[in-house]
């Protein structure tokens, strides 16, 4: 029987695409995917190293998988991804039970490395290259998400070098993938049953600036919307400093393009935005939000903020809190600032105590919770075209779903009651009849028609 492998992916959707590449390479070489790591001969941990909390989760997961390596049927443990890229030497020294470490660029060597491990090689390779190459993409990709929804990573790396962010240190500079390659991948995914394509990168709005000398995201999105089989195309990770008119036009007139923008703002104080290197002002942020809402009246705006940046005063936090309450964003995430090694912000004076940063985060999220629940309640009576997600165990006649206004994995759900047997990947027309916290409750309109006919 072919050797089995299990892959544990940690971190963001961009990391998930890397994990799908690794899985595709191994399957292409004759390996067999095993969901349960306790039953696998090879275990891969694809790590995240973005912030301290993510690093600790990665280390805890490695420690858990080391137990399978030491006591189970596992014959090889490979650690790859962002943590390996950033701390290769210390990990190699501190984790002797790990058989190999691969950085971002080293993932191309996964088949060779795994073969040597299973052949009994006594070396522990640590393959970490400078993070400046665009790794070879593999089509078909081994999709690890639900069959009807997938991520398309259009670029790797980032040129922004925000003062608080370690991504350029880990992932290197921006490297846009060729448009024809992306379209081939989108066609393959659509042909395999994907109906929703989520476009991602460290900074999607910068796509093409390194290769074409100007942003080309608008053209790519139009081409993706023309791919047969795709129903929804969703834009994530759009830096506000790089939004431009043609991109807003595409959002306004492409029906397949979800009226949804993930727009990480991080703060609104002009002084802090400048210190962070965001290359945008509060006035520009407010103008962009207004432009998006004018051009796409039903647009859903998701954003993220950071509290406790070095030097953030109480007045600047109050400015941010007031801004969130004024703008009433549909979705908000917030992180307490975490000093990252070798970033400019880590060396800035006036570091805010962790407790204060976390308290500010909690205050902001409490304010947003009220807004989000108000917005959910205001949707009662709305009709929506939704995509059914995998049904939760024990739920009968109730199906979790998302509309164009909910991104996978991060946003609330719409729970649909239906007398029909629905399955994941179905598109259904519903009416929202209630709200429970952040989530909405809806009825399947076709089911409701059937019930009315029975009553007659």
Q: Dump pLDDT digits (tens) for 35-71.
A: 999 999 999 999 998 888 888 999 999 999 999 998 8
Question: Which residue, among 191, 84, 110, has the nearest Cα to 143 in the 3D structure?
Answer: 191
Q: Return the CATH superfamily for domain 149-377.
A: tm_1862 like domain (3.80.30.20)
Read off the pTM: 0.93
Give 378's contacts (C-beta < 8 A, 6+ positions apart): none
Give the 3-state secondary structure of the chain. CCCEEEEEECCCHHHHHHHHHHHHHHHHCCCEECCCHHHCCEEEEEECCCCHHHHHHHHHHHHHHHHHHHHCCCCEEEEEEHHHHHCHHHHHHHCCCCCEEECCHHHHHHHHHHHHHHCCCCCCCEECCCCCCCCCCCCCCCCCCCCCEEEEECEECCCCCCCCCCHHHHHCCCEECCHHHHHHHHHHHHHCCCCEEEEECCCHHHCCCCCCCCCCHHHHHHHHHCCCCCCEEEECCCCHHHCCHHHHHHHHHCCCEEEEEECCCECCCHHHHHHHCCCCCHHHHHHHHHHHHHHCCCCEEEEEEEECCCCCCHHHHHHHHHHHHHHCCCEEEEEECCCCCCCHHHHCCCCCCHHHHHHHHHHHHHHHHHHHHHHHHCCCCCEEEEEECCCCCCCCCEEEEECCCCCCCCCCCEEEECCCCCCCCCEEEEEEEEEECCEEEEEEHHHHHHHHHHHC
Q: Which of 64, 124, 119, 122 is nearest to 99 (CA)?
A: 124
Say if residue 255 is exposed, middle or buried (CB neighbours under 10 Å; 0-12, 13-18, 19+). Answer: exposed
- CB of 348 within 8 A of CB of 275? yes
- pLDDT, averaged per 10 consecutive residues of the chain (456 residues), comes to 92 92 93 94 92 89 92 89 91 90 83 90 75 64 92 94 92 94 95 97 96 96 98 97 96 97 98 96 97 97 97 98 98 94 94 96 98 96 96 79 96 94 94 96 83 49
For domain 4-127, the CATH architecture is 3-Layer(aba) Sandwich (3.40)
Taking the domains of the chain in order of start, what are their residue ranges? 4-127, 149-377, 383-455
Do residues 134 and 160 touch, judged by C-beta distance below 8 A? no
Distance CA 62, CA 80 (A): 11
Nearest of 21, 142, 135, 136 to residue 85 by alpha carbon: 135
CB distance 235 to 272 below 8 Å: no
The three state secondary structure string of 136-150 is CCCCCCCCCCCCCEE
User: What is the spatial distance between Cα 125 and Cα 146, in angstroms, rounded to a whole number?
Assistant: 33
CATH class of 383-455: mainly beta
Q: Are strands 126-127 and 414-417 parallel, antiparallel or unpaired?
A: unpaired
Taking the C-alpha atoms of residue 302 and residue 333, their distance in angstroms, rounded to an integer, is 8
What's the pLDDT at 134? 57
Q: What CA–CA distance (Å, rounded) separates 303 from 368? A: 11
Contact (CB, 8 A) for 385 and 403: yes
Q: Which of 187, 181, 142, 169 lies closest to 17, judged by CA?
A: 142
* Cα–Cα dist 38/69, whole Å: 9
Q: Give the model's pLDDT for residue 456.
A: 43
CA distance 157 to 73: 37
CA 205 to chain CA centroid, nearest Å: 15
């Amino acid at each position: 029987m072919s050797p089995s492998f299990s892959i544990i992916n940690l971190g963001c959707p961009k990391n998930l695409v890397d994990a799908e590449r690794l899985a595709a390479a191994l399957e292409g070489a004759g390996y067999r995917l095993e969901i349960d790591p306790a039953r696998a001969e090879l275990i891969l941990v694809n790590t995240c190293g973005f912030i301290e909390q993510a690093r600790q989760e990665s280390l805890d997961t490695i420690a858990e998988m080391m137990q399978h390596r030491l006591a189970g049927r596992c014959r090889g443990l490979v650690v790859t991804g962002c943590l390996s890229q950033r701390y290769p030497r210390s990990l190699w020294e501190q984790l002797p039970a790990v058989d190999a470490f691969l950085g971002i660029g080293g993932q191309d060597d996964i088949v060779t490395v795994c073969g040597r491990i299973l052949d009994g090689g006594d070396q522990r390779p640590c393959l970490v290259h400078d993070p400046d190459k665009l790794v070879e993409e593999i089509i078909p990709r081994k999709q690890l998400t639900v069959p009807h929804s997938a991520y398309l990573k259009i670029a790797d790396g980032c040129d922004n070098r925000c003062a608080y962010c370690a991504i350029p240190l880990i992932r290197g500079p921006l490297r846009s993938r060729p448009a024809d390659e992306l379209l081939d991948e989108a066609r393959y995914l659509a042909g395999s049953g994907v109906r929703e394509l989520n476009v991602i990168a460290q900074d999607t709005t910068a796509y093409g600036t390194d290769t074409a000398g100007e942003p080309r995201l608008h053209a790519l999105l139009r081409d993706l919307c023309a791919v047969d089989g795709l129903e929804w195309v969703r834009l994530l990770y759009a830096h506000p400093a790089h939004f431009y008119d043609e991109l807003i036009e595409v959002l306004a007139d492409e029906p397949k393009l979800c009226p949804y923008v993930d727009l990480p703002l991080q703060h609104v104080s002009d002084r802090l935005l400048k210190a962070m290197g965001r290359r945008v002002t509060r006035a520009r942020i407010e103008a962009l939000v207004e432009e998006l809402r004018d051009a796409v009246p039903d647009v859903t705006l998701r954003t993220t903020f950071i509290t406790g940046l070095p030097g953030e005063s109480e007045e600047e936090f109050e400015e941010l809190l007031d801004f969130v309450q004024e703008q009433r964003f549909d979705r908000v995430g917030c992180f307490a600032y975490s000093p990252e090694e070798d970033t400019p912000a880590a060396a800035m004076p006036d570091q805010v105590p962790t407790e204060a940063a976390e308290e500010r985060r909690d205050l902001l999220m409490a304010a947003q919770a009220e807004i989000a629940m108000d917005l959910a309640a205001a949707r009662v009576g709305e009709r929506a075209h939704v995509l059914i997600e995998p049904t939760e165990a024990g739920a009968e006649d109730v199906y979790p779903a998302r509309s164009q206004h909910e991104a996978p994995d991060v946003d609330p759900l719409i729970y649909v009651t239906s007398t029909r047997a629905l399955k994941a990947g179905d598109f259904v027309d519903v009416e929202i009849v209630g709200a429970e916290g952040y989530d909405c409750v809806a009825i399947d309109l076709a089911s409701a028609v059937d019930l009315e006919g029975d009553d007659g």
